[in-house]
Amino acid sequence: MFELPLKVSLLARWRDVPFFYYEERFANHSIEEARDDLRLPDGLIADVTTWDAEYQDTYDPDGYIWSKGGFPSPEAEKAWLEHGKVLAARILAESPVIASVDYRANGVIDKGACLFGRRQRPLDQLYPPSRKPDTARSIDVSLLTGWQEDPFYYHPEEDRLNNHTIREAQRDLRLPDGLVADLTAWDAEYQDTYRPDDPRNSGFPSEEAEAAWVERGKTLAARIKAESPVALKIDYLADYAFTRNAYLY
């Protein structure tokens, strides 16, 4: 069972599969599994398959792999690396269930160093013209933040999760200005823990600061439930600190 939205890593390795994400535990998945789990379109799957096959073709089964395997030239390797970046961005953009894609190439890029996170998208991309959000109906909401990501997830019309900014949530969920200001400050505090020059050492300055931030989020989730006339349920996940439905308001 998957906890949505998913954080995905794209990492090619010789004689292995390139997708990593959680299904009860962090595990690697084949391209075919990712197609179904992440709801990726066929065209993108074909391009990822070609990209992975190009890397697999650099493996030399004869002799010591670290001395004989590899790209034929630095230029070929660079082109493959750049192609992977484009694919990682497309995976994020074309999947309705992904929160972020951590592009690791073939392990030469450190974890978090090339992270594609869900950002605000134009409204006409989030909703086709005939499927604008109908705020007259009840909406199930997830409050989940991440570095360079927006903290609201809900699907007012379509049967899938969409990522939303705080301002979009204010409009769709009819949130009062005071609550929006507090949510903005809460999210900004988390974003300030990200170090773009040293992602692996990003985080809160202390366990106490993190615990206080998590608890403040619980209060905000309860306030969203109390102050929104259309939010039916609020699933508070903090920054993936909690599993889905662990704190349901």
Q: How far is CA 92 from CA 2, 6, 137, 139, in A?
A: 17, 10, 28, 24
**Radius of gyration in angstroms for the set of CA atoms belonging to the chain, rounded to a whole number:** 20
For residue 231, name the pLDDT band (cuts at 50, 70, 90). confident
pLDDT at 216 over 70: yes
Angle at 13 between CA 10 and CA 14, to 5 degrees: 150
The winner for highest mean pLDDT among 25-29, 34-38, 62-66, 129-133 is 34-38
Q: What beta strand segments (E) does 138-201 contain? A: 139-144, 152-154, 162-164
**Structural element, H or E, at residue 34:** helix 31-37
In the prediction, which pLDDT does 123 show? 32
> How many other CB atoms are there within 10 angstroms of residue 239's CB atom?
19
pTM score of the predicted model = 0.48
For residue 15, name the pLDDT band (cuts at 50, 70, 90): confident
